[in-house]
Amino acid sequence: MFKAILIEKTVDGSNDHYQATLKDVEESQLPAGEVVVDVHYSTLNYKDGLAITGSGPIVRSFPMVPGIDFSGVVSTSSNPKFAAGNRVLLNGWGFGEKAWGGLAQKVSIDAQYLTPVPAAISLKDSMIIGTAGYTAMLAIIALEKNGLTPDKGTVLVTGANGGVGSFAISLLARLGYQVAASTGRPEEAEYLTQLGACEIVDRNLLSEPGKPLQKERWAAAIDSVGSHTLANVCASIKESGTVAACGMAQGMDFPASVAPFILRNITLAGINSVTRSAEERQVAWARLAELVDPSLLASISQEITLDETIEAAHRLMKGQIRGRVVVKIQD
């Protein structure tokens, strides 16, 4: 037996009942996979919050174990790429949505989805970084590929208090960039400054409908908000700048104009962290191993237990959680 958060749906007449509970699960219920991993840490991400609370149509089949990422130690493996005792992690690939995820003490998974944990990173720190830090790194790599360098000007980060935003600010600052942080929580200005932000931007200045072409303010941006915010960000990017879009917290719509793309030659780079190749993942994690300051990780994270995860998911969806939430899986 092992403990796992299990999301189940029952049909009573015309009504669906959707519930997440912490349960003891028989190991025989584990999906078939080449590698069995003893999970040490997972995280609580926005997608996990949607899945656990039923706030969005994230879960594709039932019952489902949520958790879009995890880190742990290989218990058994039938694939020569991994052996018992190897430290591994997972980000994305639809786990926690289409296949059982990491909010459980054990995971059974095919080797192609696993990434070795860099030697310089602990299992816990790999999850403080998690999908959020990995996504932020992919966004920065995309900006760099489009020619961004620190001398080009300030980089805007929206959704600054979230996991992706927090990491984007700290990583950009470590790379020598001037960073502007957009937030709707002015009381968090000190926190964002400690991460490396040199300017705080009121979220309300970006979240409402705006002009299709606005004053050039930022050399580039990393946006995890979408909707009007992304449209206004694009309208305010300097000539030949790039926006890396990696989230849709405000909405999936993009009520924008082609004007900044044609008249200012800007680029909108989509960041899909879910299905990146093994090579891209390893490059991103190698960069993270070099750049992440371990002393910073504690300040942008909090640790909870598996028992506390469902309640924390409800607080996450109410906007009551800052930074990264790491879930300690093993007792």
**299 token code pair:** 């300040």
- How far, rounded to the nearest angstrom, does the alpha carbon of residue 81 sit from its chain's CA centroid? 26
Q: What is the pLDDT of residue 57?
A: 84
The CATH number of domain 133-270 is 3.40.50.720 = yes
Q: May I ask the CATH class of domain 2-121+292-328? A: alpha beta
Q: What is the pLDDT of residue 13?
A: 55
Q: What is the pLDDT of residue 297?
A: 87
Q: How many CB atoms lie within 10 A of CB 119?
A: 8
Domains of the chain, residue spans: 2-121+292-328, 133-270
From first to last of the 331 residues of the chain, give the pLDDT tens digit. Answer: 999 999 998 766 555 677 999 999 999 999 999 999 999 999 998 889 999 998 888 898 999 999 999 999 999 999 999 999 999 999 989 999 999 999 999 999 999 999 999 999 999 999 999 988 999 999 999 999 999 999 999 999 999 988 899 899 999 999 999 999 999 988 889 989 999 999 999 999 999 999 999 999 999 999 999 999 999 999 999 999 999 999 998 999 999 999 999 999 999 999 999 899 999 999 999 999 999 988 888 877 899 999 999 999 999 999 888 778 999 998 7
Q: What is the pLDDT of residue 122?
A: 96
Pairing of strands 87-91, 15-25: unpaired
